[in-house]
Structure 1
């Protein structure tokens, strides 16, 4: 890894994995900010470049946190970063970014392909001032017919196959509740960046949302290749395992994941129905899949008689794979999550925001927490004054006000 080029924002002696790495973050919305949030959690100094007066688009996507001027969307992806206002399309702004790039280890951007080149800030331009710069672009698509298409999470989910296999069997395709196209690209960006830093050489990295999401099909793709049929849309039901689905309980829904015949036998004992294990229709997995409807008819009234907590206690006691379906309020009250140490102790304007930080545990270092998201342009003066002359800084400031 290249030697540190700046003073990191982490606390002294924090011993974070990416301590001393400076990242220039020219991203907005979700895919890029998610990547740079992970890098910040691991100790990198992240300098977020934002459009003057408007900033990242998510600064205006509510709800706002109290009267803080910060939205929940923005806060979830930009904690612990520094914000500077810079019009990169202007001559003064481009020159300022070039000066910042001289002191950086990484630059990441997620504009439409060719935008940074148009501003004179592409990889070939900036390697002239910093040959060791790792330059990462998150795009919708690699080179091909779709390269110039605008890419949003919905678009790549539709094209990438994931939407077609999400939803109930008798219903329309559904968009997964998590923006997996954006998050997939953000995670691949972090993999690419940290790999390049490990190799100690400057290079260009192009991370696509579409191709990245297609790579996540894994077993779904394998089944398709073998059967020559589209992977089925079956809600929570697994096409090759049974019982592997959710069941309605007395107060919610409970997910059951029986993945082997031995586990099936133990499950039948635990629910006081050992006769089901001896039933010829359900003895082995292939039989249970073939007789899925009959199996569901047997199990639905059983699950309806107990609460989620009762079922969860039973499954944990018996070592069976299953869990209640928790909503996004429940999960942040989960006893295990609270004790795991992965929640950030953050309060903004009286609102508790226990956002999860990077959940990777290192034996010899730690990740960071407790950092607030920045106000727009909060660090413009402090950051740019370290790389620009007083006249150049004044020119940037004037350009931002116009």
Structure 2
């Protein structure tokens, strides 16, 4: 940590547990999630509310070694993820609690009555002791619980991060929203799906995860540079809109509307590009500067190099379906692994569309130890979940890497 954290005392002396609270989160998910580091080990964070974005923000702080204390409302039976889980069919009542385990591995827990004087006193004590306070409460909920002034008037160099669907001001400030609503409202859903079908949504809470990452970045900014501010108001809808830079830029500058279908490659970066079906699934086709002649070699029809659609880039853009008719038969006769392997040999950056089962056994992720194991109630074996997606590479005093990158063979 930098000098911004030098005045903070250690987590062991700052973190206080309530005698009336329970410490179930760590016990139920087997304590620490392997794969974390200790860069923020002197930071204590308190997490308020049930929002997934706030929980994901807290998860990232925990993965970096912070002590994260999740405060639950005893009058409602605790976090709803103790009773619900995300299944292939959507949110359902479940005792498996895999999402709860994924978001709260290694966190501590306090349960209190928000409405009682004792609960309010304990809650304010927890907030006062924390370096970072993460909240998913809307503006009305903060006022209702008497937390508005407490979070806006934190002492010293403490940091508060609010992760809510629409932020704490504006006409939607007091609205709640599901992940699907946020994907729709933030514009992302308009880009997903087939051109002749309705907009689609991804079957994971992607909007909340994006908001949680922005919340984590805000917390780091406040910890490292107190002058940057002490209260960060993160709107998940704003985060999603910010991710559509290319879509909004093309419309505002060129008047072009992104069309669903193969993706941005078809409409703006030329054709071919996007998802293509194959014998056992799909592959992502991306030319990325590769000569179009490489496609003719890939599909084992070198004579296609002389075809008008291979000769004229603009014509491929205007007549993409006709071009696809030339190459799709070969794709449908070959499996994804064979296609991608051969494409890589031709220096074409194709990619697999990995299923969850394939993701868990992927050689690249395994080499980097990107997946960690967490015990989940009801499962005999630990579940695997993403850990830190990056490494800290260490250097000595002279700037020489202690773990130098390997030279490709």
State if a TM-score over 0.5 links the two structures.
yes
Give the CA deviation at 1:359. Answer: 0.9
Q: Deviations over 1:70-98 (max 9, x none)?
A: 51111121111111112223221121121
Given that 2:61 and 2:216 are in contact with CA atoms closer than 8 Å, whether structure 1 keeps it comes out as yes
Question: For 1:221 and 1:167, how far apart are their aligned partners in 2?
Answer: 18
1:17 aligns to what SS in structure 2?
A: coil
**Alpha-carbon distance in structure 2 between the residues aligned to 1:285 and 1:46:** 54
The SS at the match of 2:46 is: strand
For residue 362 of structure 1, the aligned residue among 392, 396, 402 is: 392
Name which of structure 1's ranges 213-222 and 194-203 shifts more when overlaid on structure 2. Answer: 194-203
Give the whole-Å Cα distance in 1 for the aligned partners of 2:61 and 2:278: 41
The CA distance in 1 between the partners of 2:71 and 2:291, in whole Å, is 53
Q: Distance in 2 between matches of 1:62 and 1:181?
A: 17
Structure 1 stretch 237-246 or stretch 183-192: which is displaced more? 237-246
State yes or no: 1:30 paired with 2:52: yes
Q: CA distance change for structure 1 residues 15 and 191 in 2, over 3 Å: closer, same or farther?
A: closer
1:144 aligns with 2:170: yes
CA contact (8 A) 2:37 2:63 kept: no
Which residue of structure 1 lines up, in the alignment, with residue 260 of structure 2?
Answer: 233
Shift of 1:127: 5.9
How does the TM-score come out when normalised to structure 1?
0.82
Distance 1:129 1:317, change over 3 A: closer
3-state SS of paired residue (1:49): strand
**Matching residue of 2:281:** 252
Q: Mark the CA change 1:5 to 1:179 in structure 2 (over 3 Å): closer, same or farther.
A: same
* Corresponding position: 1:353 with 2:383: yes
Residue in 2 that maps onto 1:134: 159
2:130 maps to 1:104: yes
Shift of residue 273, structure 1, vs aligned partner: 2.5
Residue segments in structure 2 that go unaligned for 5+ positions in a row: 16-30, 88-93, 396-409
Deviates more, 1:89-98 or 1:72-81: 89-98
1:203 alignment counterpart: 230
Is 2:119 the partner of 1:93?
Answer: yes
Corresponding residue of 1:193: 219
C-alpha distance in structure 1 between counterparts of 2:254 and 2:131, whole Å:
47
Partner residue, 1:289: 317
How many residues are paired up? 358
CA distance in 1, matches of 2:388, 2:177: 26
Structure 1 contact 32–108 (Cα < 8 Å) conserved: yes
Partner of 1:217: 244
Could you tell me how far 1:224 is from its partner in structure 2? 1.2
String of CA shifts for 1:42-75, please: whole Å, max 9, x gaps.
11110011121621111111379xxx95511111
How far did 1:36 drift?
0.8
What residue number does 1:332 align with? 360
Deviations 1:314-360 (A, max 9, x none): 12333321122111222112121112111113344413311111212
Partner SS, residue 136 of structure 1: strand
Q: Is contact 1:40–1:46 with CA below 8 Å preserved after alignment?
A: yes
> Aligned pair 1:313/2:341, yes or no?
yes
Distance 2:86 2:189 in 1: 27
Deviation of 1:6 (Å): 1.6
The alpha-carbon deviation at position 128 of structure 1 amounts to: 5.1
Q: CA deviation at 1:129?
A: 6.1
> Does the aligned pair in 1 maintain the 2:207–2:240 contact within 8 Å?
yes
Partners of 2:63 and 2:37 lie apart in 1 by: 12
**Residue pair 1:141, 1:211 contacting (<8 A) in 2 also:** yes
Does the 8 Å CA contact 1:38/1:357 hold for their aligned counterparts? no
Cα distance in 1, alignment partners of residues 156 and 221 from structure 2 = 17
Unaligned runs of 5+ residues in structure 1 are: 366-402
TM-score, normalised via structure 2 length: 0.81
Aligned partner of 1:55 in structure 2 is 78
Q: Distance in 1 between matches of 2:371 and 2:40?
A: 20
Alpha-carbon RMSD across the aligned residues, in angstroms, is 2.5
The SS at the match of 1:354 is strand
Alignment of 1:159-174 (within 5 A): 159-174=185-200
Consecutive aligned runs of 4 or more in structure 1 exceeding 4 Å deviation: 8-11, 126-129
